[in-house]
């Protein structure tokens, strides 16, 4: 690989790291070509970008953006590395988990995940990462919690109003003509 090609890869990686707040670093070393293709298809279907690059180029791209911010990620840059970029912090973990189940294996191995500034290192964090709530899920829960008391108040008010309406119709008797009212005139034939 020439120096210009390396610089192109570094610039491409820099743009991806700048674009996404979430990325996963995985080890795909023992996967077959067919398995890697299947993994790429799964990523594409879920709007997750998968890139394979040399560890030194990944490190240079990260260091040129913010060396301290990504410092905890550098130790994970070994062996064959595939990067998974996603807007949804949970989606790559779900892809890796389902891929493992489908292939009855332990690969690909999660080396690290960078989620909104937090670093999760090691394959033992994969299950935790599949349970992360996305921004949309959290917003939905908050809206649900805020709506719940209002719904209960409205239901109670409607129930009270219905009970009141039933009570007034049951108590009210048919109206009788008043004693001092004039008798009705017979209808003309």
The domain locations on the chain are 3-132, 133-166
Quickly state the pLDDT bin for 113 (edges 50, 70, 90): very high
The rounded percent of the chain whose pLDDT value lies above 70 is 88
Quickly state the pLDDT bin for 30 (edges 50, 70, 90): confident
Residue-by-residue DSSP string for 134-146: PHHHHHHHHHHHH
Q: What is the pTM of this model?
A: 0.71
Task: Give the tens place of pLDDT for each residue, 76-102.
Answer: 999 999 999 999 999 999 999 999 999
Cβ-based neighbours of 46, under 8 Å, separated by 6 or more: 86, 91, 94, 95
> What class does CATH assign to 3-132?
alpha beta
Instruction: Tell me what the pLDDT averaged over the chain comes to.
Output: 85
Q: Is the pLDDT higher at 91 or at 148?
A: 91
User: What is the predicted pLDDT for the residue at 175?
Assistant: 53
Burial class (CB in 10 A: 0-12, 13-18, 19+), 12: middle
């Amino acid at each position: 690989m020439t120096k210009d090609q390396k610089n192109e890869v570094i610039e491409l990686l820099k743009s991806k790291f700048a674009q996404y707040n979430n990325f996963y670093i995985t080890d795909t070393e023992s996967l077959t070509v067919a398995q890697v293709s299947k993994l790429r298809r799964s990523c594409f279907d879920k709007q997750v970008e998968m890139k394979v690059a040399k560890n030194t180029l990944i490190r240079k791209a990260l260091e040129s953006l913010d060396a301290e911010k990504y410092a905890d990620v550098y130790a994970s840059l070994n062996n064959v590395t595939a990067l998974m970029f996603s807007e949804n912090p949970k989606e790559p973990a779900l892809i890796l988990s389902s891929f493992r189940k489908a292939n009855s294996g332990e690969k690909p191995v999660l080396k690290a995940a960078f989620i909104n500034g937090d670093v999760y290192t090691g394959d033992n964090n994969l299950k935790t990462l599949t349970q992360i709530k996305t921004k949309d899920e959290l917003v939905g829960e908050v809206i649900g919690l805020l709506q719940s008391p209002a719904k209960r108040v409205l239901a109670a008010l409607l129930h009270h109003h219905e009970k009141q309406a039933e009570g007034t119709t049951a108590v009210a008797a048919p109206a009788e003509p008043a004693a001092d009212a004039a008798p009705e005139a017979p209808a003309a034939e």
